Amino acid sequence: MSFYHQIALTKIKGVGPKTARNLLAYCGSVQEILETKASILAKIPGVNSKTATEIAAKNYQEATEKEIAFVEKHQIQVLWITNPDYPTKLRNCEDAPLVLYYKGNADLNNERVVSIVGTRDATNYGRKICDTLIEQLKPLHTTIVSGLAYGIDIAAHKSALLNQIPTVAVLGHGLDRIYPASHRETASNMIYQGGLLTEFASDTKLERQNFPMRNRIIAGMADVTIVIEAAIKGGALITAEIANSYNRDVCAFPGGVDQTYSAGCNYLIKTNRAHLIRDAQDLCYLMNWDLENTKTQTQLSLIPTDLNQDQLHIYHFIKEKKQVTIDKISRFCNWSQSKLAIVLLEMEMNGHITSLPGKVYTL
């Protein structure tokens, strides 16, 4: 199937992803859709006479040829929905775009794809969480996805670049521009360590409604969407709601009850729309990702230097067992319950161990 037919279908007024899929189901191919008479197209459920006439009029030809010239000149990949490089997780969403334009080198079908979203008015608290989380995710070989917007989005992209993690920006416009313009340098770097992805052609106007459309791609191509900071209204919450509708996991970092830009995160957690997480280890536990096994043997052999004798005693036991219940630790140490509780609490507060559900501990 040529790029011409693929792109042409997206240039027809009134034909969105759902209508296009409906047409494909009845006609069998894009070429067949474009060559079918309006009177026959109008009989397809969900296709009105106006749309059928628009398809048959072939007013898309000039715009299609212009777009093909643009993608060839700038070496942009045109990913049709059946293309093996098209994001598989996104393909499974009923409103996934039929065509994506992509410039970059990141694998859009990486085993672990994490979307990170949040407020455009990020605080120091939000940026610190973002930087720490992404640094912790490095051993997992994830791809980080966001929207190149101000605030948390650009913080996520920059942190991923700094940690040499592939990062993909999903744009609310064509690849003929970068918005906001101040993020152009970051976007340029991402082409070599990630990529730029959009469903919008090069002549698309920069319109407000494009960005909620962009958000469904951010949610749809990821295993999990993480909200770091968000007000009670805004694009981050829209993305979280879309991810929930796709039956994807959503996580949120909690914030102070009096903080405007944490109100959205707290709301998502309160209403069971997002899992509360504090770090990458919480995320890995939720997603059943093995963070420990991704670390090098050198990293695993390092023993914290601030452990006292009692803590070291427990540390070696947990390291040997990987995960161990408090009852087994108690039998191993043969201490009083009060002493054991104090030692475990100190180790947990210092970040040496983590408490899992069922009173299970791991390093």
DSSP for 324-358 reads EEHHHHHHHH---HHHHHHHHHHHHHTTS-EEETT
Helices (H), the chain: 3-10, 17-27, 30-35, 38-41, 49-57, 61-73, 88-91, 124-137, 152-162, 184-192, 210-220, 235-245, 263-270, 280-287, 297-301, 309-321, 326-333, 337-349
Question: Please, where in the chain does CATH 1.10.10.10 lie?
Answer: 303-362
pLDDT, mean of residues 58-73: 91
Walk across the sheet containing 194-198 and list its strands: 77-80, 99-104, 194-198, 167-170, 143-146, 113-117, 224-227, 249-252, 275-276
Asked if residue 235 has pLDDT above 50, the reply is: yes
Multiple choice CATH, 303-362, 1.10.10.10, 1.10.4030.10, 1.10.3720.10, 1.20.810.10:
1.10.10.10
Residue 299 is predicted with a pLDDT of 44
Higher-scoring residue by pLDDT: 170, 288:
170
Higher-scoring residue by pLDDT: 313, 277:
277
pLDDT, mean of residues 85-92: 93
Question: Please, where in the chain does CATH 1.10.150.20 lie?
Answer: 3-73
Question: Please, where in the chain does CATH 3.40.50.450 lie?
Answer: 103-287
pLDDT, mean of residues 182-207: 94
Asked if residue 29 has pLDDT above 90, the reply is: no
Residue 171 is predicted with a pLDDT of 97
Confidence band for 292, pLDDT divided at 50, 70 and 90: low
pLDDT, mean of residues 305-328: 84
pLDDT, mean of residues 205-211: 89
Confidence band for 301, pLDDT divided at 50, 70 and 90: very low
Torsion sign, CA atoms 239, 263, 168, 223: negative
Q: Whole-angstrom distance between the N-terminal and C-terminal Cα of the chain? A: 53
Confidence band for 222, pLDDT divided at 50, 70 and 90: very high
Asked if residue 181 has pLDDT above 70, the reply is: yes
Q: Give the rounded percent of residues in the chain with a pLDDT score beyond 70.
A: 96
Asked if residue 56 has pLDDT above 80, the reply is: yes
Residue 239 is predicted with a pLDDT of 96
The CA distances from residue 82 to 31, 78, 354, in Å, are 15, 11, 43
51 phi/psi in degrees, rounded to 5? -65, -40
3-state secondary structure of 274: coil
Confidence band for 2, pLDDT divided at 50, 70 and 90: low
Confidence band for 277, pLDDT divided at 50, 70 and 90: very high
3-state secondary structure of 146: strand
Asked if residue 127 has pLDDT above 90, the reply is: yes
Closest CA to 359 of 317, 334, 331, 329: 329
Residue 360 is predicted with a pLDDT of 84
Q: Give the rounded percent of residues in the chain with a pLDDT score beyond 90.
A: 55
Confidence band for 276, pLDDT divided at 50, 70 and 90: very high
Residue 298 is predicted with a pLDDT of 37
Residue 300 is predicted with a pLDDT of 41
Closest CA to 219 of 245, 200, 188, 196: 245
Multiple choice CATH, 103-287, 3.40.50.450, 1.10.10.10, 1.10.10.60, 3.40.50.2300:
3.40.50.450
Residue 354 is predicted with a pLDDT of 86
Helix 280-287 to helix 124-137 angle, to the nearest 10 degrees? 60
Helix 309-321 to helix 326-333 angle, to the nearest 10 degrees? 130
Contact status, residue 111 vs residue 167, Cβ threshold 8 Å: no
Q: Which fold has domain 3-73?
A: DNA polymerase; domain 1 (1.10.150)
SS3 for 70-135, per residue? HHHHCCCEEEECCCCCCCHHHHCCCCCCCEEEEEECCCCCCCCEEEEECCCCCCHHHHHHHHHHHH
The lowest-confidence range among 44-48, 119-123, 145-149, 238-242 is 44-48
Asked if residue 1 has pLDDT above 60, the reply is: no
Residue 302: exposure state from Cβ atoms within 10 A (0-12, 13-18, ≥19) = exposed
Contact status, residue 140 vs residue 112, Cβ threshold 8 Å: yes
Asked if residue 297 has pLDDT above 70, the reply is: no
